[in-house]
Amino acid sequence: MQLLGLRTALTAVAVIHLSLPVFTLHVSLPESSPANSQPLLSSLLSFSIEEDRWPEWAGTNSRNEFTYNALQNYASLTGQPPSIRVGGDSADRTTWSPTVALNEDTFLPPTELTPYPEATQVVVGDAFYTLARFLPRGTRTVWGVNLGADNATNAVNTARAIVRAFDNDEVNASGVVLDRLELGNEPDIYNFTGLRTGDWTPEMYIEQWTASAGPVVEAVGINGRGGPVTLQGASFGTQQFTPRQVFDLGLLDSKAGQAISVISQHRYSVISSCNGTAVSLAEFMSKDAVRSNLTIFEADIAASKAKGLGYIIGETNSAACHGSPGLSNTAGAALWAIDYVLQAATLGVQEVYFHEGIGYTYNFVSPPVSLNRSATNGAPLDPPQPPHVQPVYYAGLVIGTLVGNSSTSQIVELTVDDDNVTGYAAFEGGWLVRAAFVNLRAWLSGSNGNRPSVHLDFHFARAGSARSGNVTVRRLAMEHADDLKGLKWAGQSFETADARPVGQVVQERVAVGNGVDLHASEAIVLSF
């Protein structure tokens, strides 16, 4: 058992209680941060907004209060709002026009499988970008620029409009910041999405990216990766192209390449949702599935950091093609997201951007405007469905609580010798301050018998010492993993008309020596 080196181990011992198998996990927690601890950015949990309907998220004449409140809840925990990327597939269908005031979109008709399709064409004017002023103060933004059209003139015009927007007095006064421009969304699969035909190689991508990115950095005055505005690189959707591959082929050698400060890759845990094929919630939530979806990036994370570049998962969510009903919109998705984001952080991922769109099943906030047809099957809704948070929104509250507001915290995974339970420790100033545990065992509405639990028994790894005193426990509670509502975080519900919490905060004070119970389909954060 390794105590302070690479990971801290948890061992399980079976005991009998009420004729049910109850497991005591003897949890060894490091008092000080191990050498493999990774930084926890305040904006670790961030969001990617599909570009076509960005104005509905932000608000047009005034801010969208529901969006603002939902983001501000997170900022109150970490001291920093989530970063916002405006992009996605529709970024590669967007054209800037001097004659359009805000935006003009063209959509395909809805279907049962895709009730809210993305726009096939988006034309925007300058005011489209100045809507950023309605985000919470301190929000850092990334904006997509069309590479799919292979039109350097449009790319330059768009980039100029974005930079011009952030020179606007109202945007400046809002405290919202332009961080990066991203040329192309998932360009590795342009041959699949119809934006390129025939052979499509990494070499061709680099040539075309450089042909547009070069004029962009010249036009808007980006010089190197020192900022204040830089480029976001790669944004690949699959392993068809990889950062390592394009590094070796010279992506970073040009002036535009030298302006890349962050490498982005995308990941959706379930792909079969695109053709309507279901995956069981228990399978999706599993500890092994979470890890197998992230470890594929380890070599690219290392290669990016070796080049002095940041690394993010710039677009992600539970299931591709806007989500899978009965999976993406369940309470279990919140548990999955907690483990997914924290696991990514332990691998060196700086930010994880969850993709959101109007009427998407996997949204944290669904939607910021009322819907007149169902997001799950396209059926008419009368009356329309008002804005509300979905179960996965609660994941951000748990993550933000673990991250804290010091802006200097670090994280390490605790090795848990259990197929369902995961654990993470957070440190500030090098010392243990909080820990999170997630029980990914899917307790469903159809489950029989008594709800299983594990007992966490704490041991502090410093000269074999024990720690006295109390620990504060906050719980993410749900009846079942397949519930679509009714969750509570520390006793409070966020399922309100304005995304503000209701109810009294409930925190347990437990003697450290007594340990803590953790039920199936539950998460907790401990503060020491």
Residue range 276-331, pLDDT digits in tens: 777 999 999 999 999 999 999 999 999 999 999 999 999 999 999 999 999 999 99
pLDDT band of residue 411 (cuts 50, 70, 90) is: very high
pLDDT digit string, tens, across residues 416-447: 889 999 999 999 999 999 999 999 999 999 99
**144 with 179: CB under 8 angstroms?**
no
The more confidently predicted of residues 18 and 492 is 492
C-alpha dihedral sign at 413, 490, 312, 285: positive
**Containing H/E element for 145?**
strand 140-145
17: pLDDT strictly greater than 80: no
The model's pTM: 0.95
pLDDT digit string, tens, across residues 333-377: 999 999 999 999 999 999 999 999 999 999 999 888 999 999 999
pLDDT band of residue 117 (cuts 50, 70, 90) is: very high
Instruction: Point out which residues pair with 233 in neighbouring strands.
Output: 263
* Mean per-residue pLDDT of the chain: 94
Among 269, 267, 350, 334, which residue's Cα sits nearest to residue 488? 334
Q: For residue 389, what is the DSSP state?
A: B
3: pLDDT strictly greater than 90: no
CB proximity list for 201: less than 8 A, separation 6 or greater: none
54: pLDDT strictly greater than 80: yes
Task: Report helix, strand or coil for 57.
Answer: helix
274: pLDDT strictly greater than 90: no
DSSP collapsed to 3 states, 481-527: CCCCCCCEECCEECCCCCCCCECCCCCEEEEHHHCEEEECCEEEEEE
Q: What angle do CA 363, 369, 375 make, to 5 degrees?
A: 50
Terminal-to-terminal C-alpha distance of the chain:
23
Residue with tokens 């192309």: 184
Does the bond joining 387 to the residue before it have cis omega, within 30 degrees of 0? no
Strand duo 380-385 + 94-96: pairing: unpaired
435: exposed, middle or buried (C-beta count within 10 Å: 0-12, 13-18, 19+)?
A: buried
Give the distance, in angstroms, between the CA of residue 268 and the centroid of all CA atoms in the same chain: 11
Please compute the mean of the pLDDT values over residues 171-189 and round it to a whole number.
98
Q: What angle do CA 523, 525, 527 make, to 5 degrees?
A: 165
pLDDT band of residue 461 (cuts 50, 70, 90) is: confident
pLDDT band of residue 465 (cuts 50, 70, 90) is: low
Please compute the mean of the pLDDT values over residues 158-184 and round it to a whole number.
98
22: pLDDT strictly greater than 90: no
What pLDDT, on a 0 to 100 scale, did the predictor assign at position 8? 34
pLDDT band of residue 13 (cuts 50, 70, 90) is: very low
Q: Which two tokens stand for residue 31?
A: 């008092």
Q: Give the number of C-alpha atoms closer than 13 A to the C-alpha of residue 496, restricted to the C-beta side.
A: 15
What pLDDT, on a 0 to 100 scale, did the predictor assign at position 466? 58
Q: Which two tokens stand for residue 75?
A: 């900022």
d(C-alpha 326, C-alpha 333), whole Å: 10
Strand duo 410-416 + 177-183: pairing: unpaired
**Whole-Å CA distances, 500 to 69, 74, 197, 492:** 7, 11, 48, 10
6: pLDDT strictly greater than 80: no
- Rg of the chain in Å (alpha carbons): 23
What pLDDT, on a 0 to 100 scale, did the predictor assign at position 21? 53
Among 87, 80, 164, 88, which residue's Cα sits nearest to residue 130? 164
d(C-alpha 359, C-alpha 346), whole Å: 32
Q: Work out the percent of the chain whose per-residue pLDDT is above 90.
A: 90
